[in-house]
Amino acid sequence: MSWRISPAVDDILRKAEDMEGIDAHEAAQLLRLPLCSGEVFAVMEAASRMSRLTFGNKGERHFHIGLNVEPCRFDCAFCSLTRTAGAFVEKVEFPEEQIVAWAREAEATGADALNLMTTGAYSFERLLEIGRLLGRAVSTPLVANTRDITHKEGERLLQAGYVGCYHSVRLGEGRDTPFDPELRKRTIAVFRDVGLLWMNCVEPAGPEHTPEEIAGLMVLAREMGAVYSGVMRRINFPGSPKEPEGMINEREMARMVAVSRLVMGAAARAHCTHEPNAVSLLAGANLVFPEVGSSPRDREADTGKGRGSSNASCAALLREVGLDPALPSNCFGPAPERRSQDPGCPSRL
């Protein structure tokens, strides 16, 4: 039995394979296809081939370190680190010795970057201090994941040793969060203006988000120059205000990851999925996040003792799908050159 692909979907896939990047309307069409259809498998296969042609067999690991735990006053509905969630009642900052130990372990086990995450009210001066501290302790590239910033603050991040920032306009921004989506976009423009790399993910994806909302943020990532994009699903920790909404499964996330890869076209240097899963790594993703310290998806103060995956387990997962975590990162330095063809992923045409 052969799979039949409609002329409309075939046209979208042909456009995507030229690395042009599909538009929001086309992405929404793909996000509406029946999940178990052959067309969705064709989308995932096209995304996988695009990534192999662009990234080779590189499997990226960007090691997440959550620097602090506190009942955050901003009360984003999907986050465990809020007053409303009630998971944490005291403010805790992980000591410098622990942060340095995590960073050295990540470097020793081959992490491609260190992502330093903070809650919204975390001291910006302290974030700069941690950057300078880790710059003396390790050589792994540093990426900040913090609040909206000004141009002057962006320049200070560069001076403190950070090479990039993770930031996103979240799904439900302004509804599930108190933040203005336009302010988030202005901060992303700051990164470009001062020379910080911008890392992004379409997140936190849940069943309540429409194809149009999801596709719009996928296109935003390409248009504003994300080094990588991808998809992170919302994890409903026990007691989450979003529990009644349910969660998408990993198969649905893989479809989203694949569509996002088609949207990014030639612009991407890597493509992420979170939390780590093999299905998305067969659908165009090649970047995963080991985690320690605080996490907005966990009720454990140190997610390394909870939901978080280790650097070693992420490396094993990448190898299981034929990706090599030992190859050099594509995210830092010159953009990767497109290969004429990956022998392991021949063209469908």
pLDDT digits 0-9 by tens, 39-67: 999 999 999 999 999 999 999 999 999 99
The answer as to whether 164 is a domain residue is: yes
Residue 21's identity, in one-letter code, is G
Residue 135's identity, in one-letter code, is G
> Which residue shows structure tokens 């590239």?
141
The answer as to whether 343 is a domain residue is: no
> Which residue shows structure tokens 């991407």?
268
Q: Report how far residue 171's alpha carbon sits from residue 243's, in angstroms, rounded to the nearest whole number.
A: 16
The answer as to whether 295 is a domain residue is: yes
Return the H-helix or E-strand segment holding 115.
Answer: strand 113-117
The answer as to whether 341 is a domain residue is: no
Number of other CB atoms surrounding residue 315 within 10 Å: 21
Task: Find all residues with CB under 8 Å of 243, minimum gap 6, and list them.
Answer: 236
The answer as to whether 11 is a domain residue is: no
The answer as to whether 337 is a domain residue is: no
Domain extent, residue 26, equals: 21-320
- CATH number of the domain enclosing 236: 3.20.20.70
Q: What is the pLDDT of residue 239?
A: 86
Q: Identify the segments of the chain with pLDDT beneath 70.
A: 1-3, 336, 338-349
Which residue(s) pair with 36 in the sheet?
Answer: none
Angle formed at CA 334 by CA 328 and CA 339, multiple of 5 degrees:
75
pTM of the full structure: 0.95
The answer as to whether 13 is a domain residue is: no
Q: What is the pLDDT of residue 318?
A: 98
Number of other CB atoms surrounding residue 191 within 10 Å: 26
Coil/strand/helix, residue 39: helix
The answer as to whether 312 is a domain residue is: yes
Tally the domains of the chain: 1
Q: What is the pLDDT of residue 333?
A: 77
Q: Report how far residue 179's alpha carbon sits from residue 166's, in angstroms, rounded to the nearest whole number.
A: 16
For 101-114, give the DSSP string. HHHHHHHHTT-SEE
Express each pLDDT in 105-116 by its tens digit. 999 999 999 999
